[in-house]
Amino acid sequence: MLRSTGIAICLTACFAGSSHGITITLDYSYDASNFFGSGNPAGAAAGAKAKASLEAAAGYLSGILQDSFDSIATPPPFYSSSTGPQFTWQWESFFPNPATGATVSLQDPIIPANEYIVYAGGRSLPDTKLGIGGPGGYYPPSAGGSYYPSDKSEIDAITNAFFDSLATRGEPAGEFTRWGGAITFDTDVSANWHYDHSTPVVTGKNDFYSVAIHELTHALGFGTSDEWNALVSGSTFFGAAAYAANGNSYPAVNGGHWNYSTQSTVYGTSTPQEAAMDPNLTTGSRKLFTALDAAGLADIGWEVQAPVVVLDGDFDGDNDVDGADFLLWQRSGASAADLAKWEANLGMHLAAPIAASVPEPGAVVQAFLAALLCAGSIRRPRR
């Protein structure tokens, strides 16, 4: 979960091409209040922006997950002859209903290969919780019936393949895998959401995109799985990738998170930023996925690959160099060299269609000087 206290919306195009990888598929069928649409407390337009932000966050994470997952599909009944005995298989997934928190069970859902299904919705969450996320589960699968002895080996092979697809999805044993999970977001007015992932976060508001990244990462098993727990002793996370990403030091954990204020760098860049997977979010700020967050996923068994940032100064990796990048640089306290890169490429876009709507460079610079002065005069408590 993520609690409230106080940049990078990467499109698929900004990642190195890969012939395989996982797609996080969002499923809104349990969004009973239509939080991601016309039922959003702030109106239908806000609901649409929330959905766009969540889809962008899922797209970002899909872009870095390089695993290959088998499909999960209950085998059709096996008949030893046209009129002979029948043998059948079943499985049942479960997850918390995003709209209520009550457990939902689904009989024999079909999970396509390389897909990770995440049920999304909203409900009123207690105190300052902004979101909740975690992987789903499944009940022990069943197989039963009767068959002619000559069919035993064939039936055993079907059973083993089916059970393996549930337990490992074809990945090596010991790595976190699952059919998917569920996430939910606070619908209370007090959440004070900034829904639009394409605009800088308004002062005093909670950035929905940041929380979407955070909860989706929980849904991928970060802080929420046996594989995670196996690496935690006391308040330290003993993962090799996290050790390397944390300057050759095992990072401290706080519950299913990195400790408060844990620092890292925006994944695939050298831009310093607080980790996305620490326990809270400062209002008025956006947190991108960091190298340490990625290392946490790697340590529980995900194959991760950093997004490729191909434009200097594009600190948030969204294929342009603009005000959002400046704000990220300013917040991060990064180097003058990084600022020089930003200045050099200000106004640049990778995609020509977007460039057509870019303001004149002079206008952008002016807007930014103004933003700098404003931001410099404001001191917000970070926590």
**Residues in touch with Zn ion (CB under 5 A):** 1-2
State which residue, 219 or 298, has the beta carbon closest to Zn ion. 219
Q: Pick between residue 64 and residue 216 the one whose CB is nearest to Zn ion.
A: 216
Q: Which residue is nearest to Zn ion (CB)?
A: 1
Please state, in angstroms and rounded to a whole number, the distance separating the CA atoms of residues 320 and 324. Answer: 9
Question: With contact defined as beta carbons under 8 Å apart, do 125 and 132 qualify?
Answer: yes
Residue 217 or 332 having the CB closest to Zn ion: 217
- Long-range contacts from 248-253, C-beta under 8 angstroms, 24+ separation: 251/292, 253/223
**255 near 223, Cβ under 8 Å?**
yes
- For residue 5, the number of C-alpha atoms closer than 13 Å in the C-beta half-sphere is 12
Nearer to Zn ion, 128 or 203 (CB): 128
Give the Cα separation of 304 and 322 in Å (integer). 27
Q: Is the alpha carbon torsion for 157, 162, 163, 168 positive or negative? A: positive
Q: Shortest Cβ distance from residue 224 to Zn ion (Å)?
A: 9
Closest CA to 116 of 139, 95, 99: 95
Q: What backbone phi and psi angles, to 5 degrees, belong to 125?
A: -105, 145
| E strand intervals along 19-114 | 23-27, 78-79, 86-90, 92-96, 103-107
Give 180 or 256: the residue with its C-beta nearer to Zn ion.
256
Residue 217, phi-psi category: left (phi > 0), alpha (psi -120 to 50), beta (remainder): alpha
On the CB side of 114, CA atoms within 13 Å amount to 13
Quick one: 2 or 182, whose CB is closer to Zn ion?
2
Q: How far is the CB of 135 from Zn ion (least distance, A)?
A: 13
CA-nearest of 71, 89, 296 to 168 is 71
In the complex, what is the shortest distance from the CB of residue 293 to Zn ion, in angstroms, rounded to a whole number?
11
Q: How far is the CB of 258 from Zn ion (least distance, A)?
A: 10
Q: Which is nearer to Zn ion, 78 or 208 (CB)?
A: 208
Which amino acid appears at position 147 of this protein? Y
Residue number, 274 or 338, with CB nearest to Zn ion = 274
Minimum CB separation of residue 222 from Zn ion in Å reads: 8
Closest CB 339 distance from Zn ion, rounded Å: 32
Query: CB within 8 A of 345, min separation 6: which ones?
Result: 311, 312, 313, 314, 321
Q: Residue 215 Cβ, how far from Zn ion at the closest point, in Å?
A: 7
Q: What is the DSSP string of 216-270?
A: HHHHTTTTTSHHHHTTEETTEE--HHHHHHTTSSPPBEETTEEPTT-EEEBTTS-
Nearest CB to Zn ion, comparing residues 1 and 57: 1
Q: How far is the CB of 130 from Zn ion (least distance, A)?
A: 9
Is residue 364 a contact partner of residue 346, using CB atoms and an 8 Å limit? yes
CB of 158 to Zn ion, least distance (A): 39
